[in-house]
């Protein structure tokens, strides 16, 4: 019933930029804080950023602070992640999810992970 679809990934050179998108359906989008997560090969999924239900506040992992910008458009049920000054260590599959804003943790009742979108940054 609830579905999320990530898109916008690709292959870019270090220093380049990319914009990821996530669309969510089957829920009242504005009722939820949202976040971006990523998982690199051989590593656990980690939080990248999260944003308040109305977009008024956002948090970022130290590794991406100053380089990435999270935003949302509740009228379109869309979540975005603008990625700048990309580094090889940003290479991962990126996912979006509804979160608890404090700590940017996925909601315990969120079981709707999409396929993710692959971001590969060459050195």
pLDDT by residue for the chain (123 residues), tens digit each? 889 999 999 999 999 999 999 999 998 999 999 999 999 999 999 999 999 999 999 999 999 999 999 999 999 999 999 999 999 999 999 999 999 999 899 999 888 899 999 999 999
Q: Compute how many other C-beta atoms are within 10 angstroms of the C-beta atom of residue 17.
A: 12
Residue that is written with structure tokens 């898109």 in the block = 7
């Amino acid at each position: 019933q609830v579905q999320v679809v990530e898109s916008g990934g690709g292959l870019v050179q270090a220093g380049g930029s990319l914009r990821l998108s996530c669309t969510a359906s089957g829920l009242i989008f504005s009722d939820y804080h949202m976040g971006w997560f990523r998982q690199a090969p051989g590593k656990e999924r980690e939080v990248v950023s999260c944003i308040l239900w109305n977009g008024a506040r956002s948090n970022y992992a130290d590794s991406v602070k100053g380089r990435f910008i999270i935003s949302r458009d509740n009228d379109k049920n869309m979540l975005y992640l603008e990625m700048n000054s990309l580094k090889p260590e940003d290479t991962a599959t990126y996912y979006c999810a509804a979160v608890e804003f404090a700590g940017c943790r996925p909601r315990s009742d969120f079981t709707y992970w999409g396929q993710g979108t692959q971001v590969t940054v060459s050195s």
